[in-house]
Structure 1
Amino acid sequence: MPIESGSCASARQAKQKRKSHSLSIRRTNSSEQERAALQRDMLEGQDSKLPSSVRNTLLELFGQIEREFENLYIENLELRREIDTLNERLAAEGQTIDGAELSKGQLKTKASHSTSQLSQKLKTTYKASTSKIVSSFKTTTSRAICQLVKEYVGHRDGIWDVSVAKTQPVVLGTASADHTALLWSIETGKSLVKYAGHVGSVNSIKFHPTEQVALTASGDQTAHIWRYIVQLPTPQPTADCSQVSGEDEFEFSDKDEPDGDGDGSSDCPTVRAPLTSLKSHQGVVIAADWLVGGKQAVTASWDRTANLYDVETSELVHSLTGHDQELTHCCTHPTQRLVVTSSRDTTFRLWDFRDPSIHSVNVFQGHTDTVTSAVFTVGDNVVSGSDDRTVKVWDLKNMRSPIATIRTDSAVNRINVCVGQRIIALPHDNRQVRLFDMSGVRLARLPRSNRQGHRRMVCCSAWSEDHPICNLFTCGFDRQAIGWNINIPALLQEK
């Protein structure tokens, strides 16, 4: 028999399709009436306690559901017919190309054989490529040495922030929801000084760049500047009481209960009065930091503003407004008069105070959820972390899009960057801490088990690049801070 042309065959199939579709519609409409009448008769014959209006509504709803399923069934039949037609065309083309007369069964056998060969090749290629990727990840993470060195236990509630002093002696500072801040000996894990001047949760702590002075922000709507004096004796590293007995703001507290481990905040001097109290916010002060030089300080609050203060006079110099929702963090540049503030409005802002006459602001948009922190790095880069499970690296000269994006499986809290090695420490809600380089390559994940690592949300990370024992500190809501020794080879960082 002669083979029909393609146009005639397609026209013929289109007519058949329209005909079958119209028939199906007529059948559906006619059958709907019959089914509705039948269902009403059946329900009327039943002893139902439902009102007639409710029964009629149910009938209409079930009828709509049945019509939807019937339409789907008809569409499925039509799709099957089209598939059969295409298979017949492929079979005819196969006969013409091969130049041999193959039966339908032989064509199916040949097609299934070629398909199985193709799928086998795809599986082999996929397994090979996947094994290469997995092996490269294993090689990368195994070469990074991350060891837990010390645990700092003594707070009675979760720890929000951790920081390392920039002056000698180098001590560790923690800010806790138990309304206190503690200073620790990094080597021994003993608490040296307790600050108890706040009446609310202490949300952040930062050390003065040149003096033994700390800046803490609190939920009591204030930020406090307070002085500490510590000395680390060689035999028993504890706070030297003779060095602080002459200071009015230091008081020893015998009422402090010792912690369960015996190495907490007991028997250490307590500072109860600040040198200066910064009071201008109408909401929780969530973070605070020193500007370069230490003569000014900036605070970030839930009242949607950030304030710049003169430290000596405690006067408000500038009120930084513009965020649409509560602020979550603030950070200052180590060498320039730049401030970055992050907010729940999914943005962070860069405030420039380098020119006294011009105070410019730039808005960075790129996250889809709360920006939990934004910090400066070397050069003109800013790194931001968010609850949208991403960390983005930005160039201050190009605000439109990030130069690198790190995607994770959990919300990211207050991040910190190791300036010398250009490594980002990511504390997560899921108790993990991960390390990435500035290009977004994952370097390591800190070990965590039932006996090692954080047992609850990790809130903050802080690097101490020059310390020989612990060069990374983390804190969390398991009421402890942890000191880590991170050793990442230079070759691994170059990759």
Structure 2
Amino acid sequence: MFTFQTQARHGYSVQFSPFYAQRLACATSQHYGIAGSGRLFVLDFTPGHGIQPIRVLDWNSGLFDVTWSEDNENVLVTGSGDGSLQVWDAMQPAAPLKVLKDHTREVYSVHWSQTRNEHFIISASWDRTIKLWDIHKENPLSTCTGHDGLVYSAVWSPHIPGCVASVSGDQTLRVWDLRNPEAARMIIPAHSAEILTCDWAKYDQNVLFTGSVDAVIRGWDIRRGDRCLCELTGHHMAVRRLKTSPHVGSVLASTSYDFTVRIWDTSSKQCTDNLEHHSEFVYGLDFNLHTSGQLADCGWDELVRVYSVPSCLPKEPP
């Protein structure tokens, strides 16, 4: 396991680079994100040297999420408590390349397009909206409205161009076609509590997973939103982040306010691993696209951890 301390900064989001197997970014906030500034760490990890910062970038408000560019290995975007998005160049130790501002409250989620139009970003905010941005333009291209609560997460489909899923404090999962942002294509009352996170299955374009304050994870088929595919229970507090594996279709990972990271087999509906290596809320989570079975997470205990989990590896053929 590799460990790095984000001194006096509390981790909110971590993401591996889509270009380099040994690189990741971590978005953090001072004073647990309630007040103070934010800091973006760009980190490299190697055996024998551990995790080393290659760039530390500061912003005057807490940073709550980070996403890497899909078409430039040095560009990242963060979302912050002042309602803005910051576009950074990891090789330039100064101010952001650009600041995008249209939200009126905290930006809690940013995500780079996973299909076509690799210069597109979506942002989700506590102002109850989701905005579509072209990284080369100053103003949002469109705004999705309709959620009745804080929007905690919005993620692009890895399969369907222009398709986005979002979850909110209004207890719904919504699927949007950005060609028609005025109305959600589908609204699923997915939980009986605020929903903090969602992610698409990497091997089935119709399947989504949600995680909620009710400590439950549920799977959904967007062709049949009236009933869930599966329900995963075991966390004792709110589920903060979900990530589906890019290597094994049945593997899902989750973080929680119960200080744990759990690995799930969605086919058997069983928890295969319960990792207790944090002493505070665990917020960020990601799978390494380049290294099968490797994950990173971060939490309010100021720790970033990179590690491998055998149950996340593809099974050997008989």
TM range (shorter): 0.7 to 0.9
- Does residue 165 of structure 1 match 2:17? yes
Distance 2:98 2:317 in 1: 43
Does the CA-based 8 Å contact 1:214-1:227 persist in structure 2?
A: yes
Q: TM-score, normalised to structure 1's length?
A: 0.57
Residue 432 (structure 1) aligned to one of 260, 270, 276? 260
Change beyond 3 A, Cα 1:317–1:478: same
By how many angstroms is 1:419 displaced? Answer: 2.5
Change beyond 3 A, Cα 1:272–1:381: same
- Does residue 403 of structure 1 match 2:229? yes
Residue 462 (structure 1) aligned to one of 286, 292, 306? 286
Aligned equivalent of 1:192: 54
Residue 193 (structure 2) aligned to one of 366, 369, 376? 369
Aligned equivalent of 1:334: 158
Does the CA-based 8 Å contact 2:71-2:119 persist in structure 1?
A: no
> Structure 2: which 5+ runs fail to align?
31-37
Distance 1:425 1:356 in 2: 32
Change beyond 3 A, Cα 1:459–1:493: farther
Aligned equivalent of 1:345: 170
Q: Secondary structure at the match of 1:345?
A: coil
Aligned equivalent of 2:107: 285
Residues 56-115 of structure 1 show CA distances to partners (whole Å, capped at 9, x for unaligned) of xxxxxxxxxxxxxxxxxxxxxxxxxxxxxxxxxxxxxxxxxxxxxxxxxxxxxxxxxxxx
Identity %: 19
Distance 1:403 1:280 in 2: 37
Distance 2:171 2:181 in 1: 29
Tell which structure's C-alpha radius of gyration is larger. Answer: 1
Residue 225 (structure 1) aligned to one of 50, 74, 87? 87
Change beyond 3 A, Cα 1:287–1:215: same
By how many angstroms is 1:333 displaced? Answer: 1.6
Distance 2:41 2:4 in 1: 10
Distance 1:320 1:283 in 2: 15
By how many angstroms is 1:493 displaced? Answer: 12
Does the CA-based 8 Å contact 1:159-1:174 persist in structure 2?
A: yes
Q: Secondary structure at the match of 1:398?
A: coil
Aligned equivalent of 1:322: 146
Q: Secondary structure at the match of 1:462?
A: strand
Change beyond 3 A, Cα 1:358–1:320: closer
By how many angstroms is 1:225 displaced? Answer: 1.1
Residue 272 (structure 1) aligned to one of 78, 94, 112? 94
Superposed CA RMSD: 2.2
Residues 365-398 of structure 1 show CA distances to partners (whole Å, capped at 9, x for unaligned) of 1201110111111212111100111001111211
By how many angstroms is 1:182 displaced? Answer: 0.3
By how many angstroms is 1:358 displaced? Answer: 9.4
Residue 301 (structure 2) aligned to one of 478, 481, 491? 478
Q: Secondary structure at the match of 1:189?
A: strand
Residue 42 (structure 2) aligned to one of 183, 196, 201? 183
By how many angstroms is 1:334 displaced? Answer: 2.2
One-letter amino acid of the counterpart of residue 64, structure 2: N
Does the CA-based 8 Å contact 1:181-1:202 persist in structure 2?
A: yes
Distance 2:138 2:118 in 1: 13
Distance 2:10 2:20 in 1: 27
Distance 2:85 2:6 in 1: 23
Structure scoring higher RCO (CA < 8 A, sep ≥ 6) equals: 2
Q: Which has the higher strand share?
A: 2
Change beyond 3 A, Cα 1:413–1:360: closer
Aligned equivalent of 2:33: none
Residues 118-165 of structure 1 show CA distances to partners (whole Å, capped at 9, x for unaligned) of xxxxxxxxxxxxxxxxxxxxxxxxxxxxxxx11011331210111011
By how many angstroms is 1:467 displaced? Answer: 2.2
Does the CA-based 8 Å contact 1:415-1:460 persist in structure 2?
A: no
Q: Which has the higher helix share?
A: 1
One-letter amino acid of the counterpart of residue 476, structure 1: G
Does the CA-based 8 Å contact 1:303-1:326 persist in structure 2?
A: yes
One-letter amino acid of the counterpart of residue 299, structure 2: G
One-letter amino acid of the counterpart of residue 242, structure 2: I
Aligned equivalent of 1:45: none
> Structure 1: which 5+ runs fail to align?
1-148, 230-249, 251-270
Give 1:407-418 correspondences, 5 Å limit: 407-408=233-234, 409-418=236-245
